[in-house]
């Protein structure tokens, strides 16, 4: 009886040892980025498709895609809607990112001013949020209107205005979703300093952020 027990247990033991020593396969690297890359954001309010300009803003685009490809943006939120009380409505900025998930943040990136990239801040532009230049990591803004004051202004006496913000893409589909989130309820008390009254309440969750395939043109009708 004892011998049969040992023989019966031996294959399972060998399988356990084999499984313990088998090396785990590393996930395949993400595909290389072209001049542009499409990104799909699936939110609670609908889907937004972004086109990132890798050719002109490589540092900012590659940083954004590291968050996309690693899954760190999944579950992020849009948390701030800055409504400007001048110009033609809607006039302002919708901001999102990992404000609630500091453990997912990677190192800040070098600032890419619009004087280098040649891009400008128009309605639908995707732009990195930051404090001082060189502090941007994961948070970003989508413009609801033309705000060329966000562009770098070398003639300004203000160092912050001289640097401007880093534009690196634009919305190609889903601006109706952007506007819907921008017009969502805001708290009258949340937010510190100039951001008080700008915080969405509740925040709008982004369920998934992933690469998107280009839309292929329909075949001509014979």
Query: pLDDT for 172-190, tens place per residue?
Result: 999 999 999 999 999 999 9
Q: Is residue 110 part of a domain?
A: yes
Q: Is residue 140 part of a domain?
A: yes
pLDDT at 15: 44
Q: Is residue 14 part of a domain?
A: no
Q: Is residue 16 part of a domain?
A: no
Q: Is residue 5 part of a domain?
A: no
Q: How many domains, in total, are found in the chain?
A: 1
Give the percent of the chain with pLDDT over 70: 86
Q: Is residue 67 part of a domain?
A: yes
For residue 57, the Cα-to-chain-centroid distance in whole angstroms is 15
Q: Is residue 220 part of a domain?
A: no
Domain that holds residue 84: 36-211
Instruction: Please report, for the domain that includes residue 141, its CATH number.
Output: 2.40.100.10
Q: Is residue 192 part of a domain?
A: yes
Whole-structure pTM value: 0.84
Residues (pLDDT < 50) of the chain are: 1-10, 13-15, 17
């Amino acid at each position: 009886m004892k011998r049969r027990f040992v023989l019966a247990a031996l294959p399972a033991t060998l399988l356990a040892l084999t499984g313990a020593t088998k090396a785990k396969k590393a996930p395949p690297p993400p595909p290389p980025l072209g001049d542009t890359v499409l990104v799909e954001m699936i939110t609670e309010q609908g889907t937004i498709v972004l086109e990132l300009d890798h050719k002109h803003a490589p540092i900012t685009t590659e940083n954004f895609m590291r968050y996309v490809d690693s899954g760190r943006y999944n579950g992020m939120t849009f948390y701030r809607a800055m409504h400007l009380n001048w110009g033609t409505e809607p006039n302002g900025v919708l901001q999102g990112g990992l404000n609630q998930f500091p453990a997912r943040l990677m190192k800040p990136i070098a600032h890419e001013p619009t004087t280098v990239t040649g891009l400008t801040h128009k309605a639908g532009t995707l732009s990195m949020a930051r404090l001082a230049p060189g502090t941007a990591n994961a948070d970003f803004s989508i413009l609801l209107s033309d705000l060329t004051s966000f562009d770098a202004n070398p003639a300004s006496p203000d160092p912050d205005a001289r640097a401007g913000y880093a534009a690196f893409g634009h919305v190609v589909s889903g601006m109706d979703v952007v506007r819907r989130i921008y017009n969502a309820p805001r708290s009258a008390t949340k937010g510190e300093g100039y951001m008080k009254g700008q915080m969405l309440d509740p925040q709008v969750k982004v369920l998934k952020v992933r690469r998107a395939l280009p839309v292929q043109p329909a075949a001509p009708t014979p």
